[in-house]
């Protein structure tokens, strides 16, 4: 399986969107400071993920969420209570 995931930084409340084939390991890497792009924003909470059987489908979805503002807006609207500051 391949996953697209959304993390929320407990430090600054901002979202991070990524994809991986091992969600548990990747989440641990983010919180252990082993991912340069997120290291200063630790710790993180996993608030959402989608599973895909095909890696290219997961990569396309990740790209869509990162590049298309409307796609990210719609997802954030669906999970607004999960990403609220008092829930992270």
Q: What's the predicted TM-score (pTM) here?
A: 0.92
Q: Which residue has the higher pLDDT, 87 or 35?
A: 35
pLDDT in tens, 18-52: 999 999 999 999 999 999 999 999 999 999 999 99
Q: Would you state the torsion angle of the CA atoms of residues 2, 50, 53, 59, taken in this order, to the nearest 10 degrees?
A: -60
pLDDT at 72: 92
Confidence of residue 69 (pLDDT cuts 50, 70, 90): confident
CATH class of domain segment(s) 2-87: alpha beta
Average pLDDT, the chain: 94
Confidence of residue 88 (pLDDT cuts 50, 70, 90): low
Helix (H, G, I), strand (E, B) or coil at 77: helix
């Amino acid at each position: 399986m391949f996953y697209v995931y959304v993390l929320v930084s407990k430090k600054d409340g901002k979202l991070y969107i990524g994809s991986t084939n091992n969600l548990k390991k990747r989440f641990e890497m983010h919180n252990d400071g082993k991912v340069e792009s997120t290291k200063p924003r630790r710790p993180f909470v996993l608030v959402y993920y989608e599973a895909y059987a095909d890696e290219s489908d997961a990569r396309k979805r990740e790209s869509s969420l990162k590049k298309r503002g409307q796609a990210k807006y719609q997802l954030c609207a669906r999970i607004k209570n999960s990403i609220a500051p008092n829930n992270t």
